[in-house]
């Protein structure tokens, strides 16, 4: 794979270990990335990291990286050292397991977007997009499928990064598109898109997965597949219901469908 363009520098300012915010537990395999915002307008990356360090034994909440218009700061190892666990999504929410088969704290990198006040929205956004793309490159993730907003995992409690992006005149859907474009640009492949799928074949079910009559989560369920089961498909469609910006579904010989995000 060609080298990734190092447009920006990721600096280290690590939370001391062991502490409540950084226990020093390693991530065995990074499976996806969670996009956050700080929920604290006008607070900078350095201010947030300083707060995390100063309150390291008061709370267990944490994240790996903070991004503003001036800096990308890593406070829990992710890019500059072997990745460690951070506490950025509640274990009790089920959506991360449904999508990726694992809890976010155990297998995902959390990236916080800083916004508002004197923060230059354009510069902060450009850094945020780049570091999300960089993480995809480093951990061999698909930038079109392996980034998810915190609000999507915990919709009853969270709105990030939608709120922060809106403050900066952007949308979550735009972010996902821009990360893919940045990923391609930094590899020198401007026209690159998500990996193309074969028109026929078989996939392994990664999580508990519903087989439906139509490529839509509102459609009737005809079967429930367990992790490890095989799904044989005769067609790949790219215009089904979009789930986390992924509208690709597999169709079997009986005309039933499963969402591609639930298989591997």
Mean of per-residue pLDDT scores for the chain = 92
For the segment 49-61, the average pLDDT, to the nearest whole number, is 97
Distance, CA of 105 to CA of 115 (rounded, Å): 24
Cα angle, residue 121 at apex, residues 117 and 122 outer, rounded to 5°: 160
Q: Structure pTM? A: 0.77
**Most confident listed range (71-80, 158-167, 209-218, 232-241):** 71-80
Q: Read off the pLDDT of residues 188-208 as tens digits, 9 standing for 90 and up.
A: 986 555 444 556 788 888 788
Distance, CA of 200 to CA of 151 (rounded, Å): 34
Q: Read off the pLDDT of residues 25-52 as tens digits, 9 standing for 90 and up.
A: 999 999 999 999 999 999 999 999 999 9
Per the CB < 8 A criterion, the answer to whether 138 and 184 are in contact is no
Q: What is the CATH number of domain 10-186?
A: 3.40.80.10
Residue entry with tokens 């990198």: 109
109 Cβ contact list (under 8 Å, min separation 6): 30, 33, 34, 64, 65, 78, 83, 86, 135, 139
Q: Read off the pLDDT of residues 220-242 as tens digits, 9 standing for 90 and up.
A: 999 999 988 989 888 888 888 98
Q: Where in the chain is the domain with CATH 3.40.80.10?
A: 10-186
């Amino acid at each position: 794979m060609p080298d990734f363009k190092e447009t920006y520098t990721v600096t280290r300012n690590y939370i001391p270990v062991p502490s409540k915010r950084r226990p020093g537990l390693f991530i065995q395999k990074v499976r996806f990335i969670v996009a956050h915002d700080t929920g604290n307008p006008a607070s900078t990356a350095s201010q947030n990291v300083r707060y995390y360090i100063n309150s390291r034994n008061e709370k267990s909440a944490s994240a790996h990286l903070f991004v503003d218009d001036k800096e990308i700061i890593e406070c829990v190892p992710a890019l500059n050292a072997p990745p460690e666990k951070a506490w950025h999504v509640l274990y009790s929410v089920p959506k991360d397991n449904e999508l990726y088969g694992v809890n976010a704290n155990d297998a995902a990198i959390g990236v916080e977007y800083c916004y508002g006040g004197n923060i230059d929205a354009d510069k902060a956004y450009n850094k945020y997009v780049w570091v999300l793309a960089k993480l995809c490159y480093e951990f061999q993730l698909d930038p079109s499928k392996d980034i998810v907003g915190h609000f999507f995992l915990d919709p009853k409690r969270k709105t990030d990064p939608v709120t922060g992006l809106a403050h900066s005149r952007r949308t979550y859907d735009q972010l996902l598109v821009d990360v893919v474009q940045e990923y391609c640009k930094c590899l020198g492949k401007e026209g690159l898109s998500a990996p193309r799928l074969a028109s026929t074949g078989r996939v392994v079910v990664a999580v508990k997965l519903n087989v439906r009559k139509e490529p839509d989560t509102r459609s009737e369920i005809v079967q429930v597949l367990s992790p490890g089961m095989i799904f044989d498909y005769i067609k790949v469609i790219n215009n089904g219901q979009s789930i986390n910006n992924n509208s690709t579904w597999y169709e079997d010989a009986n005309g039933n469908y499963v969402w591609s995000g639930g298989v591997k």
